[in-house]
Structure 1
Amino acid sequence: MALDKIGIAKRIAQELENGWYVNLGIGIPTLVANYVPKGIEVEFQSENGILGMGPFPFDGEEDADLINAGKQTVTLNPGASIFDSATSFAMIRGQHVQLTVLGAMEVAQNGDIANWKIPGKMVKGMGGAMDLVASAQNIIVAMMHTNKKGDSKILSTCSLPLTGVNCVTKVVTNLAVMSVKDNAFHLIERAPGVTVEEIKNATAGKLIVPDVVPEMNI
């Protein structure tokens, strides 16, 4: 059975390491803050100027003045800091963020990512994605494996305008976990109930499959 958005976020949360500073992009990545494993302490950063971002607030407890870069209401953990976006981007460009989690429309087997624009459709802008992909050394993409038409979003080459080149290190989809290296996707895990054959059929890029592919444990 393929994962939903929460399942993808839960799997990515398993990648967190104690003491890391982590930037969460808009969409599925924002859910990761709700599923930090016990015993792990990380500082979530938002490029609009928050360090120490907590999980989403419960209904009725939202503070309209506390928002992330996607204008969603958030909470603050004890000791959190709020500052201007210039300071936030100095932190990003200075490579002080150990992990960036982004959504994407397409990812290519060489690590290219397209996540900001579909030609002919109105967009609000690129936001901080270009700075994040240019500065981060560890970028995990959270996305659906295929689009609504069933076409693969895991490609040999991106067709949409690029956000960054040769930058994605790992992809977690509703079907699989894959590392990106040596100009190929390397299958690491499969979603519970999903077969390797289903993943192959949904992947347009080069996919390297080991002899044994364990199910995700989420």
Structure 2
Amino acid sequence: MTDLEQLETVKLSNAQIAWRAAQDIEDGAYVNLGIGFPEMVARFQPEGRQAIFHTENGVLDFGEAPPKGQEDWDCINAGKKAITLKPGTAFFHHADSFAMVRGGHLDVAILGAYEVAQNGDLANWSTGKGGVPAVGGAMDLVQSAKRVAVLTDHVTKKGEPKLVAQCSLPLTGVACVTRIYSSLAVIDVVDGQFVLREKVDGLSFDELQSLTGATLHTDGDVLPLTCPKDLK
């Protein structure tokens, strides 16, 4: 199955990818969510677990987005999205925020990607037209967080692999990614290799391999990648 229209019938939505990533966040973990798509992870915390979310512009332990029309635009995250405050929410200078990052105090950083290499190299910014114009705080996050997870479509809009043997775009970080949650699979980076953990139903291993730009390895059973339907 390499036809893009057919692929649409089996791949996960962005919300489903975010839901799957949320299931692996430990209770009480300090988590930074990248701008855009990764911000969705905050919606899907498992019952009984509560992450403490951090943002580079200087807020810790903020709440969900406010209802439309009730935004306080003095309270925003690094992506300029409105946030709500929780009891105990803390504000601080962005230099202190980066001291938290660089000091290794974040348990998880979750980001998007243009490319991920099999050794864990990450490229999530581009010097090309229309790309993210600078590497920004992601460079600090991926080298400092205890665990770095990537959320991404498995292929580009043209059907080209985003999981590759070697990145062709400018790197955000070197050998930093630990787990990839794609629209087709959950893949760990282990000893410089992609190790397949889960894949969507309706796609064979060989078909998944044909959509991946580096060799997929296994070290046990590959589990089905299942998520609730109709997530938004």
TM superposition score category, shorter chain reference: over 0.9
| Structure 1: runs of 5 or more not aligned | none
CA distance in 1, matches of 2:87, 2:154: 36
| Structure 2: runs of 5 or more not aligned | 1-9, 228-232
Q: TM-score, normalised by structure 1?
A: 0.94
Paired position in structure 2 for 1:182: 191
CA distance in 2, matches of 1:192, 1:34: 25
Match of 1:112 among 106, 115, 121: 121
List aligned pairs for 1:32-71, cutoff 5 A.
Answer: 32-71=41-80
CA distance in 2, matches of 1:50, 1:194: 41
CA contact (8 A) 1:137 1:167 kept: no
- Deviation per residue, 1:130-155 (Å, 9 max, x gap): 11112122100011111110000000
List aligned pairs for 1:120-131, cutoff 5 A.
Answer: 120-121=129-130, 123-131=132-140
Paired position in structure 1 for 2:180: 171
- Deviation per residue, 1:93-142 (Å, 9 max, x gap): 00000111011100000000000114355644222101111212210001
Calculate percent identity across the aligned residue pairs. Answer: 47
Residues 1:53 and 1:151: Cα distance change in structure 2 (over 3 Å): same
In the alignment, does 2:90 pair up with 1:90? Answer: no
How many angstroms does 1:28 deviate by? 1.6
Higher mean Cα deviation, 27-36 or 106-115? 27-36
In the alignment, does 2:222 pair up with 1:213? Answer: yes
CA distance in 2, matches of 1:55, 1:182: 37
In the alignment, does 2:97 pair up with 1:81? Answer: no
Residues 1:209 and 1:27: Cα distance change in structure 2 (over 3 Å): same
| Root mean square deviation, CA, Å | 1.6
In the alignment, does 2:160 pair up with 1:151? Answer: yes
Match of 1:139 among 130, 143, 148: 148
CA contact (8 A) 1:16 1:42 kept: yes
How many angstroms does 1:87 deviate by? 0.7
CA distance in 1, matches of 2:136, 2:124: 11
Higher mean Cα deviation, 192-201 or 30-39? 192-201
Q: TM-score, normalised by structure 2?
A: 0.88
Residues 1:81 and 1:194: Cα distance change in structure 2 (over 3 Å): farther
SS of the aligned residue for 1:101 comes to: strand
CA contact (8 A) 2:127 2:133 kept: no
SS of the aligned residue for 1:66 comes to: coil
SS of the aligned residue for 1:78 comes to: coil
Residues 1:194 and 1:55: Cα distance change in structure 2 (over 3 Å): farther
Paired position in structure 1 for 2:35: 26
SS of the aligned residue for 1:72 comes to: coil
In the alignment, does 2:206 pair up with 1:197? Answer: yes
Paired position in structure 2 for 1:100: 109
CA distance in 2, matches of 1:151, 1:181: 23
- Equivalent position amino acid for 1:85 in 2: H
- Equivalent position amino acid for 2:223 in 1: P
SS of the aligned residue for 1:56 comes to: coil
CA contact (8 A) 2:209 2:215 kept: no
Residues 1:207 and 1:102: Cα distance change in structure 2 (over 3 Å): same
CA distance in 2, matches of 1:192, 1:9: 18
CA contact (8 A) 1:188 1:213 kept: yes
